[in-house]
Amino acid sequence: MNKEELKNVLPHREPMLLVDESHLEGDTTYSHYHVRGDEFFLQGHFPGKPVVPGVILCEIMAQSSAMLMAEALDGKYPMYAGMDGVKFKRAVVPGDTVNVKATLLVHRGPLFIVEAEASVDGQMCSRGKLTFMLIDKEKHS
């Protein structure tokens, strides 16, 4: 799926729609995001030496993970319920392409647990176990 097709699944919109492309293979999704250098989250982080914040890497992994919930997202938002064992191993800078592999571990009702790993040029930059709860769009205001 390209960015426009992703908008049919994800509730995110620019500037917070961070995944450029994604495809699903069974219980695993593969996505990527190219860091252009003009993103809002790089302004001031850090002057003269921009680095993608860890929280943004987690969001890229979360958006990739949400593709695993596509069939259950109608009328719902995927919300973080937890992050376990999240590690950051490599800085991500402008010009890098972040590749995410996210695998569904558990799905029970509105609860989804996903193992996600983000890498650049084959080097892991972040990973963790992400837990999501689907909530009704009407109840979230």
Closest by CA to 124, choosing from 57, 66, 28, 41, is 57
Of the candidates 12, 45, 107, 140, the residue annotated as catalytic is 45
Q: Is the peptide bond before 40 cis (omega within 30 degrees of 0)?
A: no
Give me 94's structure tokens. 């402008």
Rounded-to-10 torsion of CA 99, 27, 82, 122: -20
Could you tell me if 102 and 61 are in contact, meaning their C-beta atoms sit under 8 angstroms apart?
Answer: yes
**Residue listed under structure tokens 């620019």:** 14
23 flagged as catalytic? no
Q: At CA 91, angle to CA 32 and CA 6, rounded to 5? A: 20
Residues with active-site annotation:
45
